A and B are shown apart, each in its own frame.
Chain A
């Protein structure tokens, strides 16, 4: 009896393993490009079981059915339930709203809808939660179309939107005012790390690495030298480690500007030697920026900063009226 039940369990486990492998290989996944109602049966008058918002993971398309000339998809979707949990619901949705890897130009369509949502999020009076829609849509693209030429940029954009939303949330917390970045809540860098891992040595990896510097920055210097000293080093290091990055000139400028701020901080502490050292360092970084990035706004900003350093104009503190 024991042997027979053991044999039964083994066979059942094997069957489950095989079917799950087949299931994984054959599963059609997708997402919706409009908010879609989920019905109990393929009928717009049927009971609604939920709403699937743009970019939600529809991780199993069980089948399709044509009722009175209208195509329906029977799906299982993962939707949010509360702030921290998700739940799976199954039901029928309008098939035309569902984009899967089998949809011609599916990657472009999802990307286009994501760009549209991002644009909505930037507009005054734009659609509510459009930023989250864009974030999910971009992420889905990278997930369902990993070989699409848009995959790298889509994953980066998803990571960046998530980063900006979370940064905004952290900035309003009182802990953000703490001097040390170690003492405040860190921005979750999981998706940024995915960008670095999946698309190493690309523009997207460079951009992700730049965003991640936020976790090392102080939000308030409180007039002390420690933070700008450290931040100047961080930005200079980034610029030298990622010379091809679109953010390299900005990083050099940020490093130079922090040196200029240090001049003012040291002067107010009567540390003239340190102030002079910071002045020279600021000028050297600004000159490096002018030489390496002669086009665009950064050259003019570097020239302006050099002039401020040469003329001893205040860039930080009450005399500056120009806090960065």
Chain B
């Protein structure tokens, strides 16, 4: 009995010190009106939601925390106060809290990638990564966590936009762009880092056409975008991919111009494609799969094999 009292007092002191700190959940928990599983449930709080610890109590032999939860969904924002079980709550003063939250985010991301994985796991991961950055801006994991959060948000929004029938058009200016505020935040907070390079690469998506419709305008502008990216971000992990994308689009242009009976432009695009592909082959350190893919593209261009449209004899 004495031991229980001592343990509770120690926990209460720890919570008193932690009061006012921001934290988040690494397991979903029900938010109650009063500390106790039998009290009225207000809602279930998911992983990664922002909350402030207000006070602690003990009931049913379990630790309870009174928290102020912020529920933000896009533009809308709601704030709720209630009690939840303490054990799933990680606050700034929890030892290794940044690692614990980051680990839960990685776990959720892995779940999202699995067939039959947990529903909502991708948004859990997005929120959890954001919390690492939000609560621990000085953590060595913070820049990567912010990048991963932004990337998941970007991919979810991209998938959502693609599924909308209202945004087919070839012209990127005619469809709603994806929200790039987080990407811009990464570029401004961590300039010159790989995270800024990755964010800049992702943002190219907003300038790409959905369909080319056999016209030269889109691949022309896209080849330029990728070539510029590779020139401006030579140390980026996406540099070889950008060069390949530029080279491949030039190879496509060679086919489009040939079909349109513009041989000079076709020849120029072919030379441009070969020059870009050769840059990939010469990259050091070895860019992995991009080197054989570039050599394959060089062979295809040199042999006059078509890369776009039907192959005709």
Contact = CB atoms under 8 A, between A and B. Distances in A.
B63 to A, nearest CB: 10
Given A313-B27, A321-B28, A323-B118, A108 B296 contact: yes
B111 A322 contact: yes
A116 B296 contact: yes
B27 A109 contact: no
A108 B102 CA distance: 39
B269 to A, nearest CB: 19
A18 B289 CA distance: 42
A307 B291 CA distance: 43
Contact of A112 (B27, B102, B293): B293
18 contacts: A33-B296, A33-B300, A34-B311, A37-B313, A96-B305, A105-B299, A109-B296, A112-B291, A112-B295, A150-B292, A300-B102, A301-B106, A303-B99, A304-B99, A304-B102, A304-B106, A322-B118, A323-B118
B96 A307 contact: yes
A318 B103 CA distance: 21
A97 interface: yes
Contact of B26 (A108, A304, A312): A304
Contact of A321 (B27, B106, B294): B27
Contacts of B100: 300, 303-304, 307
A305 interface: yes
- Interface bin, chain B: 20 to 34
- Interface bin, chain A: 35 or more
B96 to A, nearest CB: 5
A301 B293 contact: no
Q: Is the interface of A mostly helix, strand, loop or mixed?
A: helix
Contacts of A305: 103
Contacts of B303: 96
A250 B274 CA distance: 41
B27 A322 contact: yes
A302 interface: yes
A94 interface: yes
A123 interface: no
Contacts of A37: 313
B4 to A, nearest CB: 16
Interface in B270-313: 289, 291-297, 299-300, 303-305, 311, 313
Contacts of B297: 112
Nearest to A39: B313
B293 A116 contact: yes
Interface string A88-112: 0000001011000001010011111
Contacts of A34: 305, 311
Interface in A307-324: 307-308, 311-314, 320-324
